[in-house]
Amino acid sequence: MNFPKRIHINEVGPRDGLQNEKQILSARDKADLINDIIDSGVKTIEVGSLVHPRAIPALADTDEVYKLIDKPEGVELRVLVTNVRGVQRAIDAGMKKVKLTVSASESHNLNNFNRTPEDSVKGFRECYDLAKSAGLDVSAAISTAFGCPFEGDISMEQITPIIDAFVELGITELSLSDPTGMANPKEVREKSAYVLEKYKDITWNLHFHNTRDMGFANILSAMSVGMTRFDAAFSAIGGCPYAPGASGNVCTEDLIHMLHEMGIETGIDLDKSIGISRKVTKLVGHKTDSYLLRAGKVSDVIRERPLKQTLK
């Protein structure tokens, strides 16, 4: 099985991780975490979301957080938006990239937005035009692409019209997301191979949760057909409202460790990533699902052994 030589990891902990935490961090703490992430070598970070404060109270200060972040060249800082008001907030805060999102599940999308997925994407035209007119880059995500708590399996026949609508809009970077942790390696391999072949001009990202302990298997399966960009969250924080108590996002430091052990480059300092994770656990006030924080790196358990005595 052939794997890519290098993998690009997008850190989504500041958004998809912290939004699920009961402990709401200060803008300064969030910005310090993001600055640490930048220092570790991560090149793409999802800073937060610009939605109504009542919708996600933990991220209500994303505008302020952004202003406190160091902004070196070569680091992409993106923010999730759902409407024109969010785009305008991004422009006012001096942000450079926004991400739009829609659900592949019609039931899920109707439940949240009272629109079909295709109608939601068409409604993003105003968002896209406003962002581009202000010089912002725009990417998008298709949620529940691997399963829906309302509909169950989600087929490529459901996903393809949404991709086509985004392409028509002008989007060139798309994510397929599994927030409910329903994906399996066979499905991931098939869908990844399909979109890579059919939409060669799209930059693809995959977003998995480790809800049922298949997140890393899904990543390996996607890598085997050429996917190279994956979301992950520091210390594995996050979760899903449809699976209370379940694991959250794929863990950043665990993913980096696995890839480095396989000889695959990430450009990220693993020890610094582990340090960030330790800091996160203190800030949120509880243990997390990071395996490296429990067991350490493989290299940590290797000890010098005395030479075996020759048997007489």
Query: What is the per-residue pLDDT across 160-188, written as a single tens digit (0 to 9) for each?
Result: 999 999 999 999 999 999 999 999 999 99
- pLDDT tens-digit profile, the chain (312 residues): 799 999 999 999 999 999 999 999 999 999 999 999 999 999 999 999 999 999 899 999 999 999 999 999 999 999 999 999 999 999 999 999 999 999 999 988 888 778 889 888 988 999 999 999 999 999 999 999 999 988 999 999 999 999 999 999 999 999 999 999 999 999 999 999 999 999 999 999 999 999 999 999 999 999 999 999 999 999 999 987 666 777 899 999 999 999 999 999 999 999 999 999 999 999 999 999 999 999 999 999 886 555 555 444
| Model pLDDT, residue 243 | 65
Q: Are strands 173-178 and 137-143 parallel, antiparallel or unpaired?
A: parallel
| Model pLDDT, residue 159 | 96
Catalytic residue among 127, 148, 240, 251: 240
What tokens were used for 112? 């949240």
Task: Give the DSSP letter string of 21-85.
Answer: -SSPPPHHHHHHHHHHHHHHT--EEEEEEES-TTT-GGGTTHHHHHHHS---TT-EEEEEE-SHH
DSSP label of 257: H
Give the pLDDT confidence of 262-290 residue by residue, as tens digits.
999 999 999 999 999 999 999 999 999 99
Using alpha carbons, select from 258, 162, 263 the residue that is nearest to residue 219: 258
| Model pLDDT, residue 306 | 57
Domain residue ranges of the chain, discontinuous segments joined by + = 8-300
Using alpha carbons, select from 107, 113, 185, 110 the residue that is nearest to residue 146: 185
Catalytic site residue 127? Answer: no
Count CA atoms closer than 13 A to 211's CA, side-chain side. 19
| Model pLDDT, residue 309 | 53
Count CA atoms closer than 13 A to 260's CA, side-chain side. 17
| Model pLDDT, residue 308 | 56
User: How far are the Cα atoms of 41, 47, 87, 223, 260 from residue 96, in angstroms, in the given order?
Assistant: 19, 12, 10, 29, 31
What tokens were used for 281? 């656990």
| CATH code, residues 8-300 | 3.20.20.70
| Model pLDDT, residue 114 | 82
The span from the CA of 131 to the CA of 282, in Å, is: 37
Other beta carbons within 10 angstroms of residue 195's beta carbon come to 23
At 141 the three-state DSSP class reads strand
